[in-house]
Amino acid sequence: MGGRPEFFGPVTHETDEPVFHEPWEGRVFGMSIFVLPLLGRNIDAVRFAQERLPREVYLSGYYRRWLAGLERRLVEAGYLGADEVDARVAGHPPKAIGRRGSPIRREATSRALRLVLRPRLPGWLVGRVLPLILGTARKAPQRQRFSAGDRVRVRATRAPGHTRQPGYVSGKPGVVVSYLGSTVFPDTHAVGRRTPPQHLYTVAFEAADLWGDAAEPGTETRVDLYESYLEPL
């Protein structure tokens, strides 16, 4: 939970856990598939919207958090009025109705999604072409600084706003175990800023370095981290 100690605790595993515990969770998942293209396919902005929710909403559950985050982004983008959903749930007209989004774009998005709901596409197209069109993989302008086996330390401070740098690894030493390519940088993508793509690495941390005496002996934690988070040791 963002590296905040008050949320540290054991990870519980649910035996035979279903994909969705209740039908409404599946509907929220389906809604996200449609809404994200309307919002520019910017999942980082949706995550940032979730992080700005009231604490009691954020902690109320995964799909409740997603639903509230999507609603917030739809309000910010002008598709919904500020009180529109609450008013309609309560059964009375909203004070403001948002519809600034283009109806042509909504219709085009709807038609495109219907076409790809159950696609039969060749493997090379799915594995190599679609990620370049729909994903966030991008070529970085500079060469990668690190390779597998390099010892690194995560920068001690975290950037304000949205970041993919967990607080619990900040300032900690680790070892690069793999290079994952380069992608759009989530920290700036979340707020609509255009910055060069960054290289991404998997870094392994000794459990004792992260958790001290409370660590389980002989274990490690692996985290995917962007190049600007890291410095050489």
Q: Could you give the dihedral angle defined by the CA atoms of residues 98, 99, 105 and 106, in that order, rounded to the nearest 10 degrees?
A: 80
Strands (E), the chain: 151-154, 173-183, 198-206, 220-226, 230-232
**Domains defined for the chain, CATH in brackets:** 5-120 (1.10.472.20), 151-232 (2.30.30.50)
Give the model confidence (pLDDT) of 73-87 as tens digits: 999 888 888 888 889
Of 29 and 106, the one with more pLDDT: 29
Mean pLDDT of 94-108: 72
pLDDT of residue 101: 60
Percentage of residues in the chain having pLDDT higher than 90 = 52
**Residue located via tokens 């999604």:** 113
Mean pLDDT of 211-229: 93
Cα–Cα distance, 144 to 11 (Å, whole number)? 34
pLDDT of residue 3: 60
pLDDT of residue 36: 86
pLDDT of residue 5: 66
Tell me the two tokens of residue 231.
Answer: 């410095």
From 3-7, 51-55, 193-197, 208-212, the region with the lowest mean pLDDT: 3-7
Tell me the two tokens of residue 211.
Answer: 């958790």
Alpha helices (H) along 21-179: 23-38, 43-51, 55-58, 62-76, 84-90, 103-116, 123-124, 130-134
Mean of pLDDT over the chain: 88
Q: What strand order describes the sheet that includes 230-232?
A: 220-226, 198-206, 173-183, 151-154, 230-232
Give the model confidence (pLDDT) of 29-43 as tens digits: 988 888 888 788 889
Cα–Cα distance, 219 to 213 (Å, whole number)? 13
From 8-22, 150-164, 203-217, the region with the lowest mean pLDDT: 8-22
Confidence of residue 97 (pLDDT cuts 50, 70, 90): confident
CB 186 within 8 A of CB 218: no
pLDDT of residue 44: 93
57 pLDDT higher than 70: yes
